Every structure is written in C-alpha cells, then in structure tokens.
Structure 1
Amino acid sequence: MSTFDFTTSTLTFEAIQGWKVETVEAFLRFKQKDFSLSDAEIQKCVDCSFNGTALLKVNKDGLMSFVGLRYGPALNVMRFFQILKNQSKKRHRVTDNTPEFCRQIATPFESLPSIPELKTKTILLKPFNRKIPLEQNLYTKCELSCYDFPISDYFVKYDEEHAYSPIHLSVLCYIALQGTEVGSSKSSRIGDWDSLIRNPTSVLRKHFDTKHLWDADREEKSTDDGLIDAKRLLISKMKTWSPSLYGDLKYILAYAAGGAQLQFYAIDPSLNLHVISDRLNLDNLQGRVEALICIFNIHRIIRSMKSLLPETVVPVWKLFKRTYGDIFIADTQIEKRIHSFSAYPFSNMTVLKNIYRDTKDIKNIIHAVSDPWIDNNSYKVILAPVGINRTPRTEQEVKAAIRCVLNALVGLHKFGYVHRDVCWPNILQLTDNSWMLIDLECAGTDDESVNFDPLKDWAPEVIETKKYTKKADVYMVGRLLRNVFISLSEKAYEFERATTAELDSRLTAQEALQHPWLSNAK
C-alpha cells in the first residue's frame, strides 16, 4: 500500500521516478476524475507493472496501444506530466498557489446580479480579479483561434520562472480548453463534461463553501439535438420551489448540455427558465474558453448568494453513496436504493411493503410514494417529503424533535412494528419546523429475534436476548439526549432516566409523550 500523501506532498519529477507500482496506482485513483480514467484503465496500468519511471517515459500512443487507455484519458495523463516535466527543469521549487488564486478569481460580486442583468449574457463573461496562467503554447493557440475575443482579459501566459503559480488550476484549465476527441455516446461525452465543468468546479469548492448550489439543476444528453430535451427536463423534473432548499434566493443556476452544445440558465421561484449565456459549441476552442469563463463567474455568483441561503441547505439533485446502496435527492422526493438486497441483513421485502402501506397516514414519519420494488436484486423506493438533516441546537428544539419522533413511534408500535435505528441522522427537520423519522429499511416486527450485529445505543436487554421490542425503541429515544451537545435541564435528564430505565420500569412511547418535560414542546 502506498504511503505517499498526494494532498500534502510536493509532486516533483524526481519524486515520481522513485514510485513503485502501488504508488502509481494510488496516484491514478487520486487523480481519477481529473484524468477521466475508469477503474478498468487503472487496473490495466497495474497489470502492465507501471512504476514511476515507466509512467514518465511512456507517451500518449504508448498509453493507448500498450496499456489500452482511451484517447481522452491518455491525453490528460500526458498533459499533466508534460507540465510537471517542464517545471522540474527549473532549479528552484515551484509552490502550488491554487487556493489563493481560486479565492481571488471567484471573488463575490458586490451585489447579486438580477435576472435581467444575467439575461444580457454579459455577467457570465465578466473579467476576474486575477488572470489565470495558461501554458504558453495554449495561450497562443487561444489568441489565434479566438481572434475577436479578449483572451488577455482573463488569462496570462504561464511563467515557469515564477515561484508561486496555481499549478493544479492551470493543469485543469489546460485539460479543459484542449478538449478530447469524443464520440456521440453519453459515456464518451462524460469525460469532456468532467474536464470542462465538473473538475474546475471541484477545485473551486475545495477553497470556499458553495453549499451545493451548483448541484441545483443540470441535465445532459449525448447528442447535439439533445440540448432541447435537456432544457425541457431542467424544468419538468422540478416540482416546487421550497424555501427549505433555496431560502430567499431570487433564482438558482442551471445548465443543459446536448453533445457538444452547452447553455446556462437561471430558474426563478415560479420555475421560469431564463437563458443567461449564448449556446456554446464545445467542439471549437472559443466555445470552450467562454464555457470555462462562465463556470468561474457562476461561482462568483454563488458566493454572492451566501446571505440569502437557509441555514442548512439540502443538496438536491445529488447522489449519495451509502454502505448498502445510495440515495438520490430531488426537490420533493428521494429515491433510495439498496444493492444486492438478497444479502441485506436488516429487513425483508414483505415487512417493508407492509410498513410503508400501514404508516402512510401517520404524521412525523417518512412515506413511500408507492410500494417498494425489486429490480435485478436492487431494492428501490421513492420517498417523501424531503427534509433537512441537522441536530437540534436548543433544548426547545430537542423537545420538539423528540415529541415528533414519539408520535411516529406510537403509530409504528400500533401496527406491531419497531424502528430499531432511532438516531439523529434518521431524524430530519421539515419546512414547517416539525421533525420526521426516516430510514424504515432497518425496521421489523415487535419482539422478534434479530440476526444482525447490535446497532449503536441499543437497549441492554436486546444485546442480551437478541430480541427487539417496542420499549427498545423508547430506550433509543432516551439516548438521543446523550447525543446533543447542549446543556439540558434537570427535567430533560428525568425524561432520559424514565425512557432508559430497566425494561419493566421503562415508559412506552405513548407514556413518554405524557412526560412533564414534553408538556410545552411545540
């Protein structure tokens, strides 16, 4: 296993020459997204016993013919190392100043541009506070290809003698502007979209908080004529404008991509789509230059939105990986998937279908839009509503959340079900400031044996007997008070003791709702 720390160590030509095969593999995985490499292509490098010396000596054609990389990834790898080789010819060490450049380039606007201002299509092409260094040959190529566009307003020739340069940023811009030869399939277009849109976005995010706004809305189609469909889908997939998602924003930013065609938009609270850029052709250099400039200015706009955002932002239109599957969050619904469901240890399809059907009218609990289903051994369910994942910050909020959780448990227990994983990550706040219990995929029936390892904060009797009862859920509610980092009153601790007492003395969910501590919970 490689011990080289790519996030803190200085990459030099000399250091790479000493890399073993496992270090090269670790580096390629670290840069996998930047290079648009697949897992299979990285494994091919390992199978070819590529060490640091071999990596530095091989050329693009060798990576394609000998290793078997695609054109785009092979070109990206070679560009990166060519720039590194050029830097290594100098006698002094060059310091990567990407963080400072990113902060200066993406400086917020003095005031948030309005939609009428954005529709002039000039805001996204505003010059930055600092010019981005480009490799000299590429800069010259941009000047010649974009003869009617002011390249010098945005970029400057890369000065290899300068000790403080944004190496990482310059490499990403080099890859983004050079482009790759791509086919018409969506898979072949993804690497191009990554290099031009997602990779620069990723490096910008490392140095300031965008609060997921660039994930707000995007749609991509593989062919040029797919831009119209992509534009239509931008709006059709949005169901509502939720203050919990967008706070006091006047608009969110979006883009549609159809093959080599790219266009940027603003979407207002009435879900109207406003065009804020020309249609950019990524098959020519000027189109790519303008697209990259738009990306940087979009992040300037995003930084200007900060004061209008809600305290906690739901990362909509984003896929989150989980241990057993993933979840995709849209604006009004969530798609949850569990892969290899036949091996899933916590519940079964019969129980889950019945739970979602029986609890569809219960308040303060997540609901299934339709019955869960199995597709190629993958469990899927569409859930609503969308909530905010945050831990209460005051005792009053703790009381409100616990009252809502107990209401949900009373409903579950009425039908003979138990939740089995009552914890703060599974309790979300809704737009009306109520709270909701989620993740029924660990639920089961009352007083049945459990055949999986104990979860955190399970009651002692469950660990001893391997049987989970309704009162074990109440025990987990009591343990919630131990997992908030605020000062609580004595009455709160009385509630905790009553809900975590020995099994025979422990309150039921209905009894816990009547506890004096919850008397003024809202």
Structure 2
Amino acid sequence: ITANGPLVTKRNFAVAGYYANGPLVTFVAICRPPESHDMPNIINIVNSNLALRWERIFHLRRIINLSIIIELVQEVIGFHETAEFIPIVREGRQIIEVCGKNIKKTYISPDAHDRVEMLVNIYGKLMQKGVPNVDRLDHADKEKDVVYLSPKGMSLNPKNQQELLDSITCVLEMLVVLHDNEPIYHQDIRWPNIIQLPNALDVPSKWIIIDWKDSDGYPNNLADHLTQDEHAPEVFQQNHGGEVDIWSVGKLIMDANRWIIGLSQRITQFGRDLQSDDRPSAKKALKRFKKIKRKIS
C-alpha cells in the first residue's frame, strides 16, 4: 500500500492510498485501527481494471478529481522547512540537510568552530535547565564543524485559533524555564523558528522552538545584526533582559492575526500588551494566557 497523504479530522485519521493486483487497481482509505485491534482498517473505495480502455479513462478522471483536494491535504500536512536530503546553503555560513531522523548543519564560515562551540554550550545549558518545547543536540562533530539536531518538524504557521493557542502556550512554557535561574534569552523568536511536531492525532498540538544561534545570557551585547521590524527595541541595547522575548511572543500573535479569521479580541489584546512598555514576565504572561484560553474555550 502506498500512502499519498493524510486526511485528518478531530476524531478520525485516514490515509488515501492504493494497491494493485495485476491490472486491477483499488483506491483505499487506511483508517486508524478499531478499538482493541492493532491492524489498520482498510476500506476499499473503488476498483479500476486498467486492462480495459474505458476503465483507464475512468481511472484518469478519478485521479484528476482527487487532485482537487491536494491543496487541502497540503494545509493539513504542512511544509517541511527544507526538502529532505537536499543540501541548502544559508547566508554563506551553513549548509542544512534534512536527514531521515534529524537535521544536519555544517558551518562553513570563518568562525565555524566558534559557532559549533556556542551551540554545544547553549544546548548543554538548555538540557541542564530542563527547558521544555525545544529541539536538542544529538551530536556535534567539532572537527568537521557539524551538528545534528532533532526532532524534525514541520515549518508552518498555525492555521486556526486553536493551533495558535497551542503554539503560544508552548512558547511561554519554554520561556518560563528559560528566563528563570541564570536566564537565557532566545532573542529571535519568530514563526520560522517555531515548528510543529508531526503528530496529527495530538490534541493539543505540540510546537517546539529552534535556532539558538542568536541566544545569549546576561550580561549581553546589543544584537545589531537582527532586523528592527521583527525584534524588540531593547535587543539593540546592551544588557537587555527577558522583555525582548516577551515582545516577540506578542509579535507572533499580531502576525497570526493577519491570516487567522475571527481571532478572539482577548488574544489580540494580549498580543498588544506583550509589546507594550509594561510587559509581564514569562511566568505572569503564561498564567494570564491560560485564563484567556479557559474563557474562550
């Protein structure tokens, strides 16, 4: 059976596929196993005998009709950040490869060794602090300036209010621990650096924060290589604190407000407050956000 893509609802999970026996091709729906069973439930949808000309024509028409739902299926599946096994050169500093189980990053800039050392250090601190909802360093080859990171996920924006609630909750949970004892600041929290883990059956959905190359502790220097329209004003000043990450969470919400129709005003107001001059700590922000979730759910 060859799976072409998942079709997902809140309660059901099915994969469109087919199998062939000689010229006889059968389209099927592969559904989750019934209770107390391990084998998936295979439902035959339609047969086509490709030995017959008129059935070949009907088969082609069925494929054309199925193509209509490809875009809808893609919205469910999402996009991987990069194609698998194809090296991508970014900013002339690193080569990224999406491998079978993890992400391989090879640094090629003059400061490649320092960058790998920095990542080894930061991921070690994330592990020591027990920071949730982040990727992890599987292996670092300092001689070749290579790091392997996991888990893999899907680079896509939340497509509805529920997914936005899930993703912002994951980010704030991460920041509560990150900003605690011996604080670390990510400094570059944007939707491209937040990925969804690919388990369509999980409710709530699970999101993790990646790309820690710009993270820093305290004291710190100004991060003048970042863009002013996507980052907090304080990040361009020395010795800033967690307010830079809180501002970024507010921007996540305000950005999502552009494509999520009917987003609750409670959520958008929360986003504005996170970008105000009087920003809460991560702990207070998470507590308030959970109250908002309860009120609108």
Q: In which range does the TM-score fall when normalised by the shorter chain?
A: 0.5 to 0.7
1:119-159 Cα distance to aligned partner (Å, 9 max, x none): x9x99xxxxxxxxxxxxxxxxxxxxxxxxxxxxxxxxxxxx
Residue identity matched to 1:398: L
1:23-55 Cα distance to aligned partner (Å, 9 max, x none): xxxxxxxxxxxxxxxxxxxxxxxxxxxxxxxxx
Instruction: Measure, in 1, the Cα distance between the counterparts of 2:217 and 2:132.
Output: 20
Instruction: Measure, in 2, the Cα distance between the counterparts of 1:460 and 1:490.
Output: 25
Instruction: Measure, in 2, the Cα distance between the counterparts of 1:316 and 1:517.
Output: 38
Among 186, 193, 204, the residue aligned to 1:426: 193
Name the structure 2 match of 1:514.
287
Deviation at 1:335, TM superposition (A): 0.8
RMSD (Å) for aligned C-alpha atoms: 3.5
Deviation at 1:479, TM superposition (A): 0.9
What is the DSSP-based 3-state SS (H/G/I as helix, E as strand, rest coil) of the residue aligned with 1:436? Answer: strand
Name the structure 2 match of 1:362.
131
Instruction: Measure, in 1, the Cα distance between the counterparts of 2:235 and 2:18.
Output: 58
Deviation at 1:375, TM superposition (A): 3.3
1:227-251 Cα distance to aligned partner (Å, 9 max, x none): xxxxxxxxxxxxxxxxxxxx969xx
Residues 354/410 of structure 1: CA separation in 2 closer, same or farther (3 Å cut): farther
Instruction: Measure, in 2, the Cα distance between the counterparts of 1:413 and 1:321.
Output: 32
Deviation at 1:453, TM superposition (A): 2.2
Question: Normalising to structure 2: TM-score of the pair?
Answer: 0.65
Higher-Rg member (1/2): 1
Higher strand share: 2
Name the structure 2 match of 1:437.
209
Residues 320/496 of structure 1: CA separation in 2 closer, same or farther (3 Å cut): same
Higher helix share: 1
Instruction: Measure, in 1, the Cα distance between the counterparts of 2:85 and 2:171.
Output: 27
Deviation at 1:405, TM superposition (A): 0.8
Instruction: Kindly indicate whether the alpha-carbon contact (under 8 Å) linking 1:332 and 1:384 is maintained by their aligned counterparts in 2.
Output: yes
Name the structure 2 match of 1:318.
86
Instruction: Kindly indicate whether the alpha-carbon contact (under 8 Å) linking 1:325 and 1:338 is maintained by their aligned counterparts in 2.
Output: yes
Instruction: Measure, in 2, the Cα distance between the counterparts of 1:375 and 1:386.
Output: 24
Instruction: Measure, in 1, the Cα distance between the counterparts of 2:146 and 2:97.
Output: 11
> Is there any run of 5+ residues in structure 2 with no aligned partner, and where?
1-15, 32-39, 41-62
Residue identity matched to 1:497: R
What is the DSSP-based 3-state SS (H/G/I as helix, E as strand, rest coil) of the residue aligned with 2:280? Answer: coil
Count of residues in Structure 1 that have an aligned counterpart in Structure 2: 228
Among 135, 157, 166, the residue aligned to 1:400: 166
Residues 497/351 of structure 1: CA separation in 2 closer, same or farther (3 Å cut): same
Among 371, 381, 388, the residue aligned to 2:154: 388
Instruction: Kindly indicate whether the alpha-carbon contact (under 8 Å) linking 2:223 and 2:235 is maintained by their aligned counterparts in 1.
Output: no
Among 227, 241, 244, the residue aligned to 1:469: 241
Q: Any residues of structure 2 matched to 1:275-290 within 5 Å, and which? A: none
Deviation at 1:397, TM superposition (A): 1.4
Q: Any residues of structure 2 matched to 1:59-74 within 5 Å, and which? A: none
Residue identity matched to 2:100: D
1:446-482 Cα distance to aligned partner (Å, 9 max, x none): 341135423342222333x244321111111111122
What is the DSSP-based 3-state SS (H/G/I as helix, E as strand, rest coil) of the residue aligned with 1:441? Answer: coil
Instruction: Measure, in 1, the Cα distance between the counterparts of 2:165 and 2:212.
Output: 22
> What is the identity percentage for the equivalent residue pairs of Structure 1 and Structure 2?
25
1:498 maps onto 2:273 in alignment: yes
Q: Any residues of structure 2 matched to 1:75-474 within 5 Å, and which? A: 114=19, 117=22, 306=70, 311-314=77-80, 315-323=83-91, 324-342=93-111, 348-360=115-127, 361-370=130-139, 372-375=140-143, 379-414=145-180, 415-430=182-197, 431=199, 432=202, 433-450=205-222, 452-455=224-227, 456-463=229-236, 465-474=237-246
> Is there any run of 5+ residues in structure 1 with no aligned partner, and where?
1-110, 124-246, 250-268, 270-299
Residues 330/248 of structure 1: CA separation in 2 closer, same or farther (3 Å cut): farther
Residues 436/112 of structure 1: CA separation in 2 closer, same or farther (3 Å cut): closer
What is the DSSP-based 3-state SS (H/G/I as helix, E as strand, rest coil) of the residue aligned with 1:474? Answer: helix
Residues 341/510 of structure 1: CA separation in 2 closer, same or farther (3 Å cut): farther
Instruction: Measure, in 1, the Cα distance between the counterparts of 2:95 and 2:143.
Output: 15
Name which structure has the greater RCO, CA cutoff 8 Å, separation 6+: 2
